Amino acid sequence: MKLVVFGANGPTGRLLTQQALDEGHTVTAVTRRPDEFPLTAPQLRVSGGDALDPAAVARAVAGQDRVISTLGVPYTKEPVTTFSQGTRNIAEAMSRHGLRRLVCVSSIGVHTDIPPEMTFLFRRVVGPVLLSMGRSVYEDVRRMEQIVRATDLDWTIVRPSGLFDTAAVSDYGVMVAPQRVTGMFTSRADLADLLLREAVDDRHVRTCIEVTTTQGTPNYLKVFVKEALHIGG
């Protein structure tokens, strides 16, 4: 298939692009910094562009089969529009060019409740801090989900838990998204694999799903320090 990946130069986007290439798909990798994109392959096209630029999005989408969005931004207190406006541009371009299948990354941060089965430290310290730090990001992710659900596209919204790195794809768990957090971790390799499977195999169409890694999960305080506070590389 001919796949287009938005946010391709992020950690998950690069893994997804490589997995798709390894399976023989043709990939258009969309990134604001094409000169920094580390992958090369005969069936890879790197397209410089910003998801907030409708014209750049339309150029990238034209002639493709499926669209996957791994757009993401760091925690910030400033207003965020990357998810909502970028996804709106993607959806409009897909409709204009006759594409149907959209798979996009959301976050379990859209949940505002923390279930009681989580540890006391997570419920009282880590969880509230993460939700507070990411408030503007999660608000825009919620807007993105509303935009996607309102389209007539064949969409799937994927909500990962706390992201961490592993060397390989695991036997991860997938479930239709409930109304509260069900797991604490998702490896980027697992997330990338699920995004590809959803896009290629048309699983969970017009459904929001959550993905949880259960094997080799790290200490959540270490993940919190590295991923949220950006300490330790």
Residue 128 or residue 73, greater confidence:
73
| pLDDT value of residue 231 | 37
Kindly report, residue by residue over 155-191, the tens digit of the pLDDT: 999 999 888 899 999 999 999 977 555 567 899 999 9
Confidence (pLDDT) at 74: 78
Whose tokens are 């007539």? That residue is: 152
Q: How confident is the prediction for the chain on average, in pLDDT?
A: 86
Q: Which pLDDT does position 182 carry in this prediction?
A: 56
For residue range 38-78, what is the model confidence (pLDDT) as tens digits?
A: 999 999 999 999 999 999 999 999 999 999 999 998 767 78
Predicted local distance difference test score (pLDDT) of residue 130:
57
- Residue 114's pLDDT band, with cuts at 50, 70 and 90, is low
Q: What is the pLDDT of residue 118?
A: 56
Of residues 101, 105, 157, 163, the one with CA closest to residue 130 = 163
pLDDT at 210 over 80: yes
Q: What's residue 174's pLDDT?
A: 93
pLDDT at 131: 54
Average pLDDT on 205-215 reads 92
Contact by Cβ (8 Å): 172, 216:
no
- Residue 128: pLDDT above 70? no
What are 117's two structure tokens?
């089965």
Q: pTM of whole model > 0.85? A: yes
Q: Which residue has the tokens 């006759």?
A: 98
Give the pLDDT confidence of 16-37 residue by residue, as tens digits: 999 999 999 999 999 999 999 9
According to the model, what pLDDT value does residue 108 have?
Answer: 84
- Distance between CA atoms of residues 19 and 111, nearest Å: 29
